[in-house]
Structure 1
């Protein structure tokens, strides 16, 4: 099995871009990744692309070059980009190709994510009683968690305020205005305990990552980042997850737990070895929950960690240094690749004003996609 190195990353800014199409954003991200890797499009032997709104991301090749490469399209809800990363990396690990690209792109309309429940095999009453509005489910999940583990609503505001501050330092972020905890708490209550500014926004953007066999990475770069693991797991029977099941709850363990454990085992590192984290903060409660699910703290310890600044850029456990989803928004197909872009920049020491200290050596990314698909990725230098 080949080891895999990341030799180039590219990111189209996240936000709103008028008539510019998702495909055009994807092409921009690819060009940036090629430039970063110092290679040409003809050097890329295969591609994997992901999107919610774009049915055929492979068509981005018409804007880059019709070189005839094999290209696979994937969709896995909010885990779409992580799925593209895993498929690209595993194809290289298995020795079929030496150099590949994973790209994600989306252009979402304004408003909360909603969907036809029949797409996910859910009963009609999920839509009939309004539960397929994601804000409602995130609120229910966060409310249960903070109640069970003694976490205050202000701690949720601390998460959001941190991510807005980090977004100010990120020129590619959608929201680049700091907000105080009080402003966040006083904003419109959408679904208790989550207020308006504790949520991310669906938006537009694209990202790309170029990978190769680790043993040939020196041909392209003197600073490769190694993709040690990319693992995806789904729910086990009885586990309750957001808008995902109406079965009896017997085992309340999220798939994120299993994905993170599998990634750490495959990578040969543990949570204690990670220097910088990217966690899916679809809402402020999600970041809190995923800290524990991924093994970085015990349930309920988040209150103390946030109070002491552990998750700040200069803390001992920096989380979402680029502002996460709360500052960047979420174009689904690109979101997990944005996380990897940030980790690569951090591990190379290229993150500028948001660079973490201490010469980071390992990064971790996690995304969660409804109705119960979790992904975890481990990078090292």
Structure 2
């Protein structure tokens, strides 16, 4: 496959709380139009589309894109839990890299309902049944706590017990996320919070309080992917390319006897996807100065520092307390505010991460801009059940 796959346009809309957004089709159309405008092309030049969402009927992708144009191109609907947006991006990148298409759009949106995530079907086997059974065997199952909070809260508790630390580290991550989001006009939660406020917020599960959990959010984002030849032929931007990308699913270690909740929530998926990306691109975590990672809960942000190799296993607390996860430190993690503060509209998240990182590499992130000579940006998008997509973007000189 060709290495010269470029992100020629990105776009997103401000995220909103459930009930305060446009309908999914309007949001998707707006994000697609924004990405096309950023690319500087008409929809008629797009040859394929991959559209991601979790909560919606089949062909919702067409409903959104028909507002942009009815050109007869293939529209593929994608659902891969919380990694849906990046899964759409992964398919778009593959289509261009393989030569099957020269210009493809990936769109993600979600019109969510208030409250915790929940399954939509109770008359058939649960898609995450094996994951939930493993969790139940390890820590039991609460009748009251949200299921996702039980999983990531359990993983957080395992981490704290393993290294003998307190959940103040999770609170500090939440404070950092809000600090970053204050400079992001697309983010839902932009007001500052303190460690004391986070720790005294209502308990959710295990070490997690409410302010350590991402909110249900509505929103949309999109990216236009093209070959270098297509971009140059049309006089388009070739300043950011996808240097490497990998998608992994669960390994035996997720469900094996003796596993732990850290592995159940995707540590090994992320570690292997990151390894593949670093190897393919010929760079290492030491070369990365900006990351958008999947902080659905602050416990997962901490765990992901280590699965992505940003800091050695067991050193996450020092990484946070030393400020190595923010401006002035080793790497700026989630300059957008991340899922915790920007919001987490499931189908849009991966493409919102893409948008932020493209803006960072172009130097277009305004008050969020990571200073210095950025050459690479790393994206991590995780969905339990399971899929993890890690993408490395490179600035082209």
Give TM-score, length-normalised by structure 2: 0.90
Task: Select 2:50's aligned residue among 45, 48, 51.
Answer: 48
Looking at structure 1, the residues matched to 204 and 213 of structure 2 have their Cα atoms a distance apart, in angstroms, of: 9
Task: Select 2:163's aligned residue among 134, 139, 149.
Answer: 149
**Cα pair 1:151 1:300 within 8 Å, conserved:** no
Partner of 1:107: 111
**Cα pair 2:24 2:64 within 8 Å, conserved:** no
Partner of 1:5: 6
Looking at structure 1, the residues matched to 67 and 40 of structure 2 have their Cα atoms a distance apart, in angstroms, of: 19
Partner of 1:81: 85
Task: Select 2:363's aligned residue among 349, 359, 377.
Answer: 349
Partner of 1:18: 20
Query: How many pairs does the alignment contain?
Result: 375
Looking at structure 1, the residues matched to 91 and 102 of structure 2 have their Cα atoms a distance apart, in angstroms, of: 13
Looking at structure 2, the residues matched to 8 and 172 of structure 1 have their Cα atoms a distance apart, in angstroms, of: 17
Deviations 1:118-141 (A, max 9, x none): 331517976985376211221111
1:228 aligns with 2:237: no
**Cα pair 1:314 1:357 within 8 Å, conserved:** no
Runs of 4+ in 1 over 3 A off after TM superposition: 123-132, 218-223, 249-253
Looking at structure 2, the residues matched to 121 and 211 of structure 1 have their Cα atoms a distance apart, in angstroms, of: 31
**Cα pair 1:223 1:348 within 8 Å, conserved:** no
Which structure 1 residue ranges, 5 or more long, are not aligned? Answer: 241-246
The alignment's C-alpha RMSD in Å is 2.0
1:120 aligns with 2:134: no
Looking at structure 1, the residues matched to 118 and 84 of structure 2 have their Cα atoms a distance apart, in angstroms, of: 17
Counterpart secondary structure, 2:15: strand
1:298 aligns with 2:320: no
Counterpart secondary structure, 2:27: helix
1:203 aligns with 2:217: yes
Change (3 A) 1:368 1:19: closer
Looking at structure 2, the residues matched to 314 and 341 of structure 1 have their Cα atoms a distance apart, in angstroms, of: 22
Partner of 1:358: 372
Counterpart secondary structure, 1:33: helix
**1:1-381 alignment, distance < 5 Å:** 1-2=1-2, 3-16=4-17, 18=20, 20-55=22-57, 56=59, 57-115=61-119, 118-120=125-127, 122=129, 130=143, 133-218=147-232, 219-222=234-237, 224-240=239-255, 247-249=256-258, 252=263, 254-381=268-395
Counterpart secondary structure, 1:314: coil
Give TM-score, length-normalised by structure 1: 0.93
Q: CA deviation at 1:149?
A: 2.2
Looking at structure 1, the residues matched to 97 and 327 of structure 2 have their Cα atoms a distance apart, in angstroms, of: 33
Which structure 2 residue ranges, 5 or more long, are not aligned? Answer: none
Deviations 1:147-172 (A, max 9, x none): 11233211111100000111110000
Looking at structure 2, the residues matched to 271 and 210 of structure 1 have their Cα atoms a distance apart, in angstroms, of: 26
Deviations 1:66-95 (A, max 9, x none): 000111111111111111011000000111
